[in-house]
Each structure stands twice: as structure tokens, then as C-alpha cells.
Amino acid sequence: MTAVVALGGNALMRPGERGTAAEQLANLRRAVAALEPLLDDDGLVITHGNGPQVGNELIRQERAADEAPPLPLWLAVAQTQAEIGALIAAELRPAVDRDVACVLTHVRVAPDDPAFDRPTKPIGPFYSSAQAEQLQRERGWTMNEDANRGYRRVVPSPEPLDVIELPAVRSLVAAGAIVIACGGGGIPVVRRGGRLTGIDAVIDKDRASALLARGLGSDRLVILTEVPALYADFGTPDQREVRELSTHDAEHLLPSLAEGSMRPKVAAGVAFGRETLITNFEALGDALAGRAGTRIVGGVTGA
């Protein structure tokens, strides 16, 4: 059995935390303990989000801008791959008998992806109206007003097309290592004149994980999130966990799902096309045994 396991934000940071190294290590210790049933899988690749970490890094870049030049977003994504990769490796190594390696991962997107005309993903710190206007003018950022908290930069979230380091991940998996890859959805790059050029965007980490799992020919994609499963009739007296969905039914369900929440996870399962398990750490053991979580399976029939 080979698997790609996508860690959600709660594997690294819990409500009220600021994201110190010590907090993230303590959370990852619990996460690794929950992953125990998967750690013996022949091929195991771990992916992860980076929302709060890249937010912190962008705050750092801005606050020091007069003294240390701010790096572009795509390099801040790279930085979080290393930060989080080193933290995951620190907690994973004592739990396994094999090598752990983190590969810096670039993911190619199309320069004409419609997402570039419609930036939707808020990132980084909040700004005042005057600051927002200045950043829009001086750096060409798109700024959106976010409820009552101020203005925030929004960036495109284009569709991932290619995991550039797929051969490297495949070689390391074949050599028996657990690989950490595709952090934060990967460093977004576009192909321009024979080059892969970094571009300021944020790729959905579940979609990137599905692309990686497909490229590796993995048997299973496990998406770990806050809730134990997808719910049908959510918020009504009939609310119940969805135990199994065909990819066909999952695809039809997509428009009814929350855009920033379950939709990209179910879409990732549809894109992967093989067994996809959506659950949380607490329910993972039961979900692997078919008693919890939501399983998306290939074919047209489902529960």
C-alpha cells in the first residue's frame, strides 16, 4: 500500500497559538502518533498546508522591509516548506525506522489560468485603508476588505498542473524513504521561455497532493482536516456523516460544498480518482478500518 497523506493546519497550530517552534513540534508529536497506522506503508509521502506560517513570514518580510529586502511570495512559500519540513522531520524520525527526507517542491501552473484574473486567496497581515492603497499602487497587489478587520492582500489560487520534483519524490520513495513534499501546495512556477519562473500565487495543498498522488501512482490519498467526515444535510436534524462516495457522486456534490473548506478536499479526491479518505486525526484509525471518515472510491456507485 502506498499513500499520500495531506496534513491540515491543525497538525501544526491550534486555536490561540502563535506558531512558535515549540508549539508546532508539540502538535506534530500528537499528529505523528495518530499517523502510526500509516507509517509502515511501503510508499509514504507527507504533504502539508502553510497558511499561518506563510502569514507569519509575510509579516516578518513587511516589518523589516527597510532593512532586509522582502522576498516575493513564491520564495516565502519555499521558506515555509523548509520550516515545516524540518519540524515534521524532527517528530517523524524517532517514530520510524527509515529515512525521512524533505524535497523542496515546485508546482507548475498555467500563466493564463483564469485564477490570475480573479485573486481570491487572502494571505498575510491586515492593513489600514491607506496602507492598502499604497501597496496596491507601489507593488501592484490586489487588496480586499476583510469584514471589520481591515484590508488584506488576495492572491490567485491557480490549478496545479505538474509537480516539477515528481521524479525526485519517486526516486526517494523507491529507495524506502518517507518523503515530505509539496508543502503549502508547492512553490508556484510558470513556464516562460524555457524557464520555470516563480509566480506569486498560492496553490491549494489538497489539489497539489492529489496531483502528486496521481503522478506517483499511489493507492490512497488521506486528507486530514478538522472534522471526522463530510456531513450530509449539515445543520439539520438529519445531519449524518457520509461514509462513502463514488467519484461520480462526489463530483456532483462539489457545487454544494463550502469553497474554502470541504470543496477543495472533495475536488482533490475526484481529481485523484482512486481511494481518498477525508477525516481527522482522532478518527483516522477507525476511518482506515472503514468505520469512520468519508471515503471517495473510483467507479460510479457509492453509498
Among 30, 38, 39, 60, binds a second copy (CB under 8 A): 60
Q: In sequence order, what are the beta bridge partners of 154?
A: 122, 142
Helix axes 166-174, 205-216, angle to 10 degrees: 60
Residue type at position 285:
G
**Shortest gap between Cβ of 140 and a second copy (angstroms)?**
15
Residue 171 interacts with a second copy (CB under 8 A): yes or no: yes
Rounded-to-10 torsion of CA 193, 198, 201, 207: 80
Under rule CB under 8 A, residue 78 binds a second copy: yes
Could you say whether residue 19 binds a second copy (CB under 8 A)? Answer: yes
The residue among 91, 3, 1 whose CA lies nearest residue 45 is 3
Q: Which is nearer to a second copy, 38 or 90 (CB)?
A: 90
40, 99, 112, 146: residue in contact with a second copy (rule CB under 8 A): 99
Q: Please identify which of the residues 49, 124, 198, 205 carries the catalytic annotation.
A: 205
10 annotated active-site: yes
Q: Which stretch binds a second copy (CB under 8 A): 69-77, 133-141, 253-261, 264-272?
A: 69-77
Q: Is residue 83 involved in binding a second copy (CB under 8 A)?
A: yes
For the question of residue 9 being annotated catalytic, the response is: yes
Q: Which is nearer to a second copy, 146 or 286 (CB)?
A: 146
Q: Which of 245, 255, 257, 243 is closest to 286 using CA atoms?
A: 243
Distance (Å, whole) CA 272 – CA 286: 22
Q: Does 59 bind a second copy (CB under 8 A)?
A: yes
Q: Which of residues 222-281 bind a second copy (CB under 8 A)?
A: none
93 binds a second copy, rule: CB under 8 A? yes
| Backbone φ and ψ of 165, nearest 5° | -90, 20
For position 96 contacting a second copy by CB under 8 A, the verdict is: no
With respect to a second copy, which residue has the nearer C-beta, 198 or 264?
Answer: 198
Query: Could you tell me which residues come within 8 angstroms of residue 228 by beta carbon, excluding any fewer than 6 positions away?
Result: 241, 279, 280, 282, 283, 287, 292, 293
Those residues whose C-beta lies under 8 Å from the C-beta of residue 140, and which sit 6 or more positions away, are: none
Binding flag, residue 15, a second copy (CB under 8 A): no
Is 121 a catalytic site residue? yes
Q: Is 128 in the site for a second copy (CB under 8 A)?
A: no
Contacts of 302 (CB under 8 A, 6+ apart): 244, 245, 246, 248, 249, 250
Residue 195 touches a second copy, criterion: CB under 8 A: yes
Distance CA 199, CA 190 (A): 7
Evaluate whether 158 touches 115 at the Cβ level (below 8 Å).
Answer: yes
Kindly list the residues in this chain that would bind a second copy in the complex (CB under 8 A).
18-21, 55-57, 59-64, 67-69, 71-72, 74-75, 78-79, 81-83, 85-87, 89-90, 93-94, 99, 101-104, 106, 125, 165, 167-168, 171-172, 174-175, 177, 180, 187, 194-198
The catalytic site residues sit at 9-10, 121, 205, 265
